């Protein structure tokens, strides 16, 4: 386990992991129903022997004839990332199984108290009303019982103005028909310069630039994302493609690197899988000392246009293909400040005493269309809408978004002829029930519309959640 002495929200977290490469963040382990073998109970502990954060075992307690505490909680549905309009209401929920459950929501790793615009901080459902920039962050929830604890996956929550062009730092539609300049639709943004043969052809959404293995596009500088980022593009990789290639990147000299003069921020492209011999979609970002990598488990279709995207929101890096998430990876830390200033499309470049040159081992052959880089994350809904627009031959600037309407439901209960009818106002809510007031809630089956009727027997607790 990882005792995590620098945990911003310390507490009694029980370690349950059996994988040394993925230890549970915890400060104690418990073994129930232990019986001596040959009159002895032996506990073997391996400690870190190097590093400035090494620590030893604080204590070992042996309780004879104790009552087993039971199983710790299990989280079955994690909180999901969400965005709300400024001043709107954010809803987060968790579903967990176990007995005697208690809850503690956390923001940026610290326990979140009730009060002000926050309610439900010690329940399965967290509500933040009047949501503002100061409320934005990474949220999680710890679930406890007598047997231990479980910590949910992080979920990013922030504000949005629900405009697809919001926070774009580069947008190249590649709708030119001649020349070596690709216009940047972002106000004040640098145009792209085509190096090599500039061949303009038919794209998925208007025109596209064709790459012959000796061509690339570069912007010598662009506004660097610092907290979140996203990249979207339409790509058509030539069927003859047989090696790792880059579509869009802020990197150079062989690939994404951390630290030094070659440090970059992101890379989106294809990687050759030596096991199946196929090219797979891959995205990477640099955060802290790490390069976070997401890879599509399926081979990438060659010879036709596909929408691809990566999105890093401070909690997860997500990879999308044709509007659907194909991989995600949790990460912590902020995005790195890259030494590399340029944005490159259509292949990697090397920079040395001879100047900037295309890296032949990373050169792309095919067509690229509608490339956008953001200093914010894209939601799954936005990526899906971009992909849907592309299938209709439209670029992403045609995507329109509508801010969700906050609704406070009204719950009503009526009894008649031995039955109880539960009805409510508002749309998009799910009715859940439990035998206890604080835990064990599950979706009610057989619900139609905004009402539910059941036999009036026993004790049952109901709630509505989004």
> Tokens 């955060």 belong to which residue?
287
Does residue 194 sit within a domain? yes
- State which residues form the domain around 23: 1-161
**Within the chain, which residues score under 50 in pLDDT?**
none
Residues 105 and 185 in one domain: no
Clarify whether residues 223 and 353 are in a common domain.
yes
- CATH label of the domain that carries residue 371: 2.60.120.200
Q: Give yes or no for a contact between 301 and 240, defined as CB atoms under 8 angstroms apart.
A: no
Are 152 and 172 within one domain?
A: no
Which string of DSSP letters, residue by residue, matches 444-457? PTT-BTTEEEEE--
Q: Which of 200, 144, 193 is nearest to 175 (CA)?
A: 200
Give the C-alpha separation, 429 to 72, whole Å: 29
| Residue 116 resides in a domain | yes
The pLDDT assigned to 65 comes to: 75
**Do 149 and 200 fall into the same domain?**
no
Q: How many whole angstroms separate alpha carbon 422 and alpha carbon 137? A: 36
**335, part of any domain:** yes
Residues 280, 394: one domain?
yes
The C-alpha atoms of residue 135 and residue 118 are separated, in whole angstroms, by 10
Structure tokens at 99: 């007995």
Is position 404 within any domain?
no
Q: Are residues 393 and 274 in the same domain?
A: yes
Supply the pTM of this predicted model.
0.82
18 and 155 assigned to the same domain: yes
pLDDT for the residue numbered 47:
64
Residues 31-76: pLDDT tens digits? 777 777 777 777 777 665 555 555 667 777 777 777 878 888 999 9
My answer on whether 8 and 33 are in the same domain is yes
Beta bridge partners of 272: 279
Element (H, E) at 386: helix 380-391
405 lies in a domain? Answer: no
Quote the distance between the C-alpha of residue 70 and its chain's center. Answer: 33
Last residue in a domain, options 340, 369, 398? 398
Burial (0-12, 13-18, 19+ Cβ within 10 Å), 71: middle
Short-list 57, 53, 56, CA closest to 5: 53
Q: Which residues pair with 327 in a beta bridge?
A: 319
Whose CA is closest to 442, among 65, 94, 151?
A: 94
Sign, CA dihedral 157-158-162-163, equals negative
**Residue 304 and residue 283: Cα distance in Å, rounded?**
20
Distance CA 368, CA 238 (A): 11
Q: Is residue 288 domain-shared with residue 385, that is, in the same domain?
A: yes
- Would residue 332 count as lying in a domain? yes
Give the residues across from 355 on adjacent strands. Answer: 352
- What is the separation of C-alpha 140 from the centre of its chain, rounded to a whole number of angstroms? 13
Point out the domain boundary residue: 371, 398, 425: 398
Domain end point (choices 138, 161, 184): 161
Neighbours of 72 (CB within 10 A): 21
Predicted pLDDT at 461: 86
pLDDT of residue 458: 80
CA dist 282 → 13, 255, 334 (Å): 35, 12, 21
Residues 205 and 178 in one domain: yes
For residues 155 and 248, membership in a common domain is answered with no
- pLDDT (tens digit, 9 = 90+) per residue, 183-211? 999 999 999 999 999 999 999 999 999 99
Cα–Cα dist 284/319, whole Å: 9
Q: Are 282 and 157 part of one and the same domain?
A: no
Residue 51, number of CB atoms within 10 A of its CB: 7
Domain total of the chain: 3
Assess if residue 11 is contained within a domain.
yes
Contact at 8 Å (CB) between 331 and 286? no
Q: CATH code at 42?
A: 2.60.40.10
Is 182 inside a domain boundary?
yes
CA dist., res. 236 & res. 370, Å (int): 12
CB 346 within 8 A of CB 209: yes
């Amino acid at each position: 386990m990882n005792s995590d002495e620098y945990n911003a929200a310390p507490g009694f977290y029980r370690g349950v992991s059996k994988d040394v490469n993925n230890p549970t963040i915890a400060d104690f382990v418990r073994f129930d129903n232990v019986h001596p073998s040959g009159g002895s109970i032996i506990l073997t502990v391996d400690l870190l022997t190097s590093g400035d954060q090494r620590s030893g075992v604080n204590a070992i307690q042996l309780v004879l004839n104790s009552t087993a505490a039971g199983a710790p909680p299990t989280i079955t549905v994690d909180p999901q990332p969400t965005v709300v309009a400024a001043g709107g209401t954010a809803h987060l929920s968790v579903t967990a199984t176990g007995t005697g459950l208690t809850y503690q929501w956390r923001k940026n790793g610290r326990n979140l108290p009730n009060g002000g615009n926050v309610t439900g901080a010690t329940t399965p459902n967290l509500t933040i009303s009047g949501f503002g920039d100061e409320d934005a962050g990474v949220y999680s929830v710890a679930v406890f019982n007598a047997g231990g604890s479980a910590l949910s996956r992080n979920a990013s929550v922030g504000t949005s103005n629900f405009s697809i062009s919001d926070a774009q730092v580069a947008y190249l539609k590649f709708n030119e028909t001649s020349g070596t300049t690709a216009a940047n639709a972002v106000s004040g943004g640098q145009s792209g310069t085509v190096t090599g043969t500039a061949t303009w052809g038919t794209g998925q959404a208007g025109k596209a630039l064709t790459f012959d293995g000796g061509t690339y596009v570069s912007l010598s500088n662009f506004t660097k994302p610092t907290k979140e980022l996203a990249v979207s593009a339409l790509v058509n990789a030539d069927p003859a493609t047989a090696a790792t290639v880059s579509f869009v990147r802020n990197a150079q000299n062989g690939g994404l690197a951390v630290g030094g003069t070659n440090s970059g921020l992101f890379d989106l492209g294809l990687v050759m899988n030596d096991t199946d011999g196929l090219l797979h979609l891959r995205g990477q970002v640099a955060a802290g000392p790490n390069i976070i990598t997401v890879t599509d488990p399926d081979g990438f279709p060659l010879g036709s246009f596909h929408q691809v995207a990566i999105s890093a929101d401070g909690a997860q890096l997500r990879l999308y293909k044709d509007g659907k998430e194909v991989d995600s990876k949790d990460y912590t830390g902020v995005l790195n400040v890259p030494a590399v200033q340029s944005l490159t499309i259509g292949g990697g470049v090397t920079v040395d005493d001879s100047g900037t040159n295309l890296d032949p081992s990373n050169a792309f052959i095919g067509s690229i269309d509608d490339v956008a880089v953001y200093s914010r994350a894209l939601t799954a809904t936005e990526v899906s809408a971009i992909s849907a627009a592309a299938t209709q031959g439209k670029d992403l600037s045609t995507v329109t978004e509508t801010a969700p309407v906050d609704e406070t439901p009204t719950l009503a209960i009526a009894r008649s002829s031995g039955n109880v009818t539960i009805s409510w106002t508002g749309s998009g809510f799910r009715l859940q029930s439990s035998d206890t007031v604080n835990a064990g809630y599950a979706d009610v089956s057989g619900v139609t519309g905004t009402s539910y009727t059941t036999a009036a027997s026993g004790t049952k607790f109901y709630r509505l959640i989004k």
